[in-house]
Amino acid sequence: MSHPVSPLAPKHQPALPPIAGVRLATAQAGIRYRGRTDVLLVLLDPGTRAAGVFTRSKCPSAAVDWCRETLRGGQSARALVVNSGNANAFTGLKGRDSVRLTAEIAGKAAGCAPGEVFIASTGVIGEPLDATKFDGVLAECAGRTGPGAERWTEAASAIMTTDTFPKLATRRVSIGGTTVTINGIAKGAGMIAPDMATMLSFVFTDADLPAPVLQALLTKGVATSFNCCTVDGDTSTSDTLMLFATAKAGNAPVDSVEDPALAEFAAALDDLLAELAQLVARDGEGARKFVTVEVGGATDDASAHRIAMSIANSPLVKTAVAGEDANWGRVVMAVGKAGEPADRDRLAIWFGDVRVAVEGARDPGYDEEAASAAMRGDAVTIRVDLGLGAGRARVWTCDLTKAYVEINGDYRS
């Protein structure tokens, strides 16, 4: 099932440079649809270390369980397999057996142990995944993997489900005077309300960093990126974000996230993750407007975040944005229902640069035309000040249109 490319898609896709120690290939395995690229194989050189954060859903997919267990067993990574079309979630023992078989097939193709293979799946929930479809396909993929820019675009496309465009980002920075590269891909358009992770996203670098440092960087970075992105308020069973470091850059050893030599890399990683998260919001199912929600004046940052997510996840706020209706009353509703400290008589609300409410009432200088004009662009900012403290948060979402209902009503058709 394909959909028109989102009007919020980037005008140009970045050409991602090669990462030493990373080779990619894609193929058609017929997981759910015929004639569609639906599997990605990434081969990683010996010495590659991994870190990951995953969904906190109480109904995680078999692939999420496998990745968690594999990371606990050691952070060595030699291969990554990602399929679209079937999430392999809520599939019981069959799902676990499918993941195990996938790892065995990929291990043979990559020349490594199954415990060095990481796996992610996305697509329909509740249907068994036939892992025998990978037999032969992954071996063929392994024989033609490569590092080129076109491989990264193919990789980002292979993991798409209802996405309308591939999501890629890259950064080049320095660690102690040594240049390192970071490349990232992501997928996601619906069932998007990450909780400690994202939909599916994979980040690769040639930096030489130990696994504990990678894990600390990723855990910190996700808090201000993917966990600040929502499309529909629904957290997926399959949310997976992984970071792989091949150590090929040859930078000086870094043993702590507090090392000043790591500051530029950490900032670049945070920025790359934020870019990918925003691309997900821009590709929200049926989206026509990219929405930034900024909350200030809360009692603390955590409270500000919960209020911002309450606004961003409100169907009434999102449909008002879709209708270009400057209905600030719905924002008041979303603040009030968040369950966080708030004082009606201190509340101020802006659409873009236009203040529409202040001190618990409509702004005395309210201008309907100016407020409506702020809603007409393809990017809308909603800003709230609670007047209670210094807590701040920013989250990204999109509007809610009839197309979202159509896409999800037809999802399994």
Return the amino acid letter for 116. E
Q: What is the pLDDT of residue 191?
A: 79
Q: Are strands 39-44 and 290-298 parallel, antiparallel or unpaired?
A: unpaired
Which regions of the chain are under pLDDT 70? 1-2, 197-198, 411-413
Instruction: Report the amino acid identity of residue 114.
Output: P
Q: What is the CATH number of the domain that holds 140?
A: 3.60.70.12
Closest CA to 381 of 397, 360, 362, 357: 397
Query: Which of 249, 282, 315 is where one domain is finished?
Result: 282
Say which of 48, 170, 181, 198 is annotated catalytic: 198
Cβ neighbours of residue 229 closer than 8 Å, sequence gap 6 or more: 192, 194, 198, 277, 278, 280, 281, 395, 396, 397
Shared domain for 97 and 123, answered yes or no, is yes
Q: Find the angle CA(217)-CA(223)-CA(226) to the nearest 5 degrees.
A: 105
Are 268 and 320 members of one domain? no
Shared-domain flag, residues 57 and 110: yes
Residue 214 shares a structural domain with residue 305: no
Residue for token pair 């992501």: 186
The model carries a pTM of: 0.95
Asked if residue 274 belongs to a domain, the reply is: yes
Identify whether residues 208 and 187 lie together within a single domain. yes
DSSP annotation of 242 reads E
Q: What confidence score (pLDDT) does residue 1 get?
A: 52
Active site residue 235: no
385 inside domain: yes
Was 154 annotated as part of a binding site? no
Q: Is 413 annotated as a binding residue?
A: yes
Residue 366: both structure tokens together? 């309210």
Do 356 and 272 sit in the same domain of this protein? no
Q: Tokens 């500000």, residue? A: 304
Residues 278 and 294 in one domain: no
The answer to whether the annotation marks 104 as part of a ligand binding site is no
| Residue 289 annotated as binding site | no
Q: 319 and 206: one domain?
A: no
Domain that holds residue 403: 290-409
Please state the length of the chain: 413
Q: Burial-class residue 93 by CB neighbours within 10 Å (0-12, 13-18, 19+).
A: exposed
Rg (CA), the chain: 22
The CATH number for 344's domain is 3.10.20.340
**Residue-by-residue DSSP string for 87-116:** ---S-HHHHHHHHHHHHHHHHHHHTS-GGG
Please indicate if the annotation marks 181 as binding a ligand: no
Please answer whether residues 242 and 214 qualify as being in contact, where contact means their C-beta atoms are separated by less than 8 angstroms: no
C-beta separation of 41 from 6 below 8 A: no
Residues 310 and 343 in one domain: yes
Q: In terms of C-beta density within 10 A (0-12 exposed, 13-18 middle, 19 or more buried), how is residue 163 classed?
A: buried
Determine, yes or no, domain membership for 9. Answer: no
Q: Please tell me whether residues 367 and 261 are part of one structural domain.
A: no
Are residue 352 and residue 391 in the same domain, yes or no? yes
* CA torsion, ordered 357, 358, 360, 362, to nearest 10 deg: -40
Given a contact cutoff of 8 angstroms between Cβ atoms, the answer to whether 393 and 228 are in contact is yes
Q: Which of 22, 3, 8, 1 is nearest to 398 (CA)?
A: 8
Cβ–Cβ < 8 Å for 124, 87? yes
pLDDT tens for 317-357 read 999 999 999 999 999 999 999 999 999 999 999 999 999 99
Q: Which two tokens stand for residue 353?
A: 């640069």
Q: Are residues 273 and 323 in the same domain?
A: no
Quote the pLDDT of residue 413: 47
Indicate the residue among 266, 282, 298 that finishes a domain. Answer: 282
Domain count across the chain: 2
User: Treating both helix axes as pointing N-terminal to C-terminal, what angle do 301-312 and 315-322 enclose, rounded to 10 degrees?
Assistant: 60
Answer yes or no: is 285 a known binding residue.
yes
The edge-to-edge listing of strands for the beta sheet with 22-27 is: 22-27, 39-44, 79-86, 117-124
Choose one of 282, 305, 322: the last residue of a domain. 282
Bridge partners, 25 (sequence order) = 41
